[in-house]
Amino acid sequence: MPTMLKLEAITKDSTLTGIEPGQVVRVVTTEAVGDNALTVYYKTADGRLLERMLFRTDEATLALAEAGRPWAFDAPGAAFKLAAEAYRITLAHLFDPMMAVHRQGAVRDDSRSNGVTLIPFMG
């Protein structure tokens, strides 16, 4: 959870969340308006230059933006393969009701050995 950001900590080139809903903005410059207010001139991600007067009551919603991407490709490949295979099996019935079984091997009841035998896939 982001910590509360004091008005005094907002400086030029800071990246903040909480000024525009759901967006990270870059502070262009600031102007102090007494002890309890600050005018912030900022740029949004789409390049619009806007201004907003912030008060002490706004400090609870402001936070420095985290550096990095909202997504990354740093998970183990084996976990991805496992998830992809599980998802493939959940969708297999749409194309071939026996696809999940015949790609991994077929199961048959072998009454002579009182058990279940796995028949490997040959094709």
How many Cβ atoms are within 10 Å of 108's Cβ, its own excluded?
9
- Distance between CA atoms of residues 64 and 41, nearest Å: 16
The residue that leads in pLDDT, 121 or 16, is 16
* Secondary structure of residue 45 in the 3-state scheme: coil
The residue that leads in pLDDT, 42 or 69, is 42
Report the topology of domain 7-64.
SH3 type barrels. (2.30.30)
In the chain, where the domains are located: 7-64, 79-119
Instruction: Report pTM.
Output: 0.54
pLDDT at 103 over 70: no
- 45-74 pLDDT, tens digit per residue, is 899 999 999 999 999 999 998 766 667 778
The DSSP symbol for 7 reads G
- 21-40 pLDDT, tens digit per residue, is 989 999 999 999 999 999 99
Q: Which helix (H) or strand (E) holds 102?
A: helix 99-104
C-beta of residue 63 within 8 angstroms of C-beta of residue 5: yes
